[in-house]
Amino acid sequence: MPCPRPLWFRWWLFPATAVVHFGEELFAGGGFYTWVTSVGGSRMSMARFASGTFVALVSLTVASWVARKRYDWLLFALAAIVVTNALTHLAGTLLTRSYSPGTVSGLVLWLPLGGAILGRGLTRSCAARWCVGFAIGAAMNAAILLLTLNLGRMA
């Protein structure tokens, strides 16, 4: 039996909010790719970062569509990805005392979206699927962060 979803939830909320988030990462404050360089990361081009962002958007869209009716663990993984991404941007902003592009949309859109899905799943007796999804999503966000920080080092 699937875990109950919030009545307001629609699969397209993930890609729609991702467009806003990735737009902020690409264009706000000089772009996340330049922010990473300024705080000691590797130098990367906008084209390389935009390519990675496009792949992420397509992947998120496909995963959201697949998770729309079943695969609760995948829905929880997507929610964990957006929540941990928002918190990572916030941590980067606070630790460096500079604006990490993606923080605003992460806190305004992704934290409430992912938090509501994770909170509902946790309170609705979906513990095993919730734990699997959360672990996969948090690991995916860590992998995405490491990949992003190393994009400039790749040939």
pTM: 0.86
| Dihedral over Cα of 73, 150, 105, 93: its sign | positive
Q: What residue ranges do the domains of the chain occupy?
A: 13-153
Nearest Cα to Cα of residue 85 among 127, 115, 61: 115
What's the pLDDT band for 2 if we cut at 50, 70, 90? low
Percent of the chain at pLDDT > 70 equals 89
What per-residue confidence (pLDDT) applies to 118? Answer: 87
Q: Record the tokens describing residue 33, joined without a space.
A: 């790719």
Asked whether residue 100 carries a pLDDT value surpassing 90, the answer given is yes
Q: If pLDDT is split at 50, 70 and 90, which confidence band does 61 have?
A: very high
Per the document, the length of the chain is 155
Which token pair is 46?
């906008």
Q: Is the pLDDT of residue 154 over 60?
A: no
Q: What percent of the chain lies above the pLDDT cut of 90?
A: 42
CA distance 37 to 63: 30
Q: What is the pLDDT of residues 37-51, one digit of tens each?
A: 888 767 778 888 888
Confidence at residue 152, expressed as pLDDT on a 0 to 100 scale:
58
CA 34 – CA 10 distance, rounded (Å)? 33
Looking at residues 64-91, what average pLDDT do you find? 89
